[in-house]
Structure 1
Amino acid sequence: MKGTYCLIIRSDGSEMDVGRLGRRVFQKGFYVYVGSGFGSLEGRIRRHLKKEKRLRWHIDYLLREAVVERVLYTTDERRLECTISEKLHGPSSVTGFGCSDCRCSSHLHYFESLDDATGAVLEAMEGSGARVSEWNL
């Protein structure tokens, strides 16, 4: 299975080093991380959900202290990662996070509530013409 996914992550608020990005402050609330798995979508999502892993990507640092509440994904064959991320972008998106291999300003976006984050993801995915599924946690 291949496609694009959004991790909806609860943060209790923290400050941490995020690899080469340096020190970052994460507000209390919910973050949406947009990624893709065109080698193996299932493998990528499972890796994010594991607690013990080598710190490789920016999201690995955040997930040491935050909790994945929901995973929404699409198996659409189009590469929608940047399109969806751009639709989620707002003033509290974390600049430079998760986008070192594209021209986006961020792939991590802040929302105050789980409902706001979920609604924004559904709107972005469905607005891109993608069929949305939910990963069973």
Structure 2
Amino acid sequence: PAGAYAYTGSALGAGGFSRVHRHRRTAAGTHDVRHWHIDYLLGHPAVGIDRVVHGPGVDVECAVATRLPEGPVEGFGASDCDCRSHLSRAATLDDLTERVVSAYETVGSARPIRSDSGGGSPTDQTS
């Protein structure tokens, strides 16, 4: 369905936040390796990364995912946990961003970062 989608991942462990940059390259069509569910979605030409929200460097992935609207694909991004899905949807990007930031604020702190869908450098929106 049309709308805005949010994928919740931890970006912790080996690779950390550089994984998000790899996802941006996948969305831009410059990286073809597919490891995670999100890689397959990002490989579609109509899909891009417009905003990234990240927290304080602790694992709140599942706590955030369970506070977002249910995803259109059960089990998406949740093969290593008991969550229904780590993909959620809202009508608009602004509505979805508000929901994601609110979920992060509920479980800890949030720092919204926005970049263009072409994979440009992120800029801090909260300075």
TM over 0.5: yes
Deviations for 1:11-69, whole angstroms, at most 9, x for unmatched residues? xxxxxxxxxxxxxxxx1111000001222332111111113131111111110121111
Q: What is the alpha-carbon distance in structure 2 between the residues aligned to residue 82 and residue 89 of structure 1?
A: 13
Q: What is the alpha-carbon distance in structure 2 between the residues aligned to residue 133 and residue 110 of structure 1?
A: 18
User: Is 1:48 aligned to residue 27 of structure 2?
Assistant: no
Provide structure 1 residue ranges, at least 5 long, that are not aligned to the other structure: 1-26
Q: Give the percent of matched residue pairs that are identical in Structure 1 and Structure 2.
A: 37
| 2:56/2:108 contact within 8 Å kept | no
* Bigger proportion of residues as strand: 1
TM-score (norm 1): 0.73
Q: What is the alpha-carbon distance in structure 2 between the residues aligned to residue 128 and residue 109 of structure 1?
A: 17
Provide structure 2 residue ranges, at least 5 long, that are not aligned to the other structure: 115-121
Aligned residues: 109
| 1:75/1:131 contact within 8 Å kept | yes
Give 3-state SS (helix, strand or coil) of 1:88's partner: coil
Give 3-state SS (helix, strand or coil) of 2:79's partner: coil
Q: Which runs of 4+ in 1 moved over 2 A?
A: none
Q: Superposition pairs for residues 2-17 of structure 1, below 5 Å? A: none
| 1:70/1:134 contact within 8 Å kept | yes
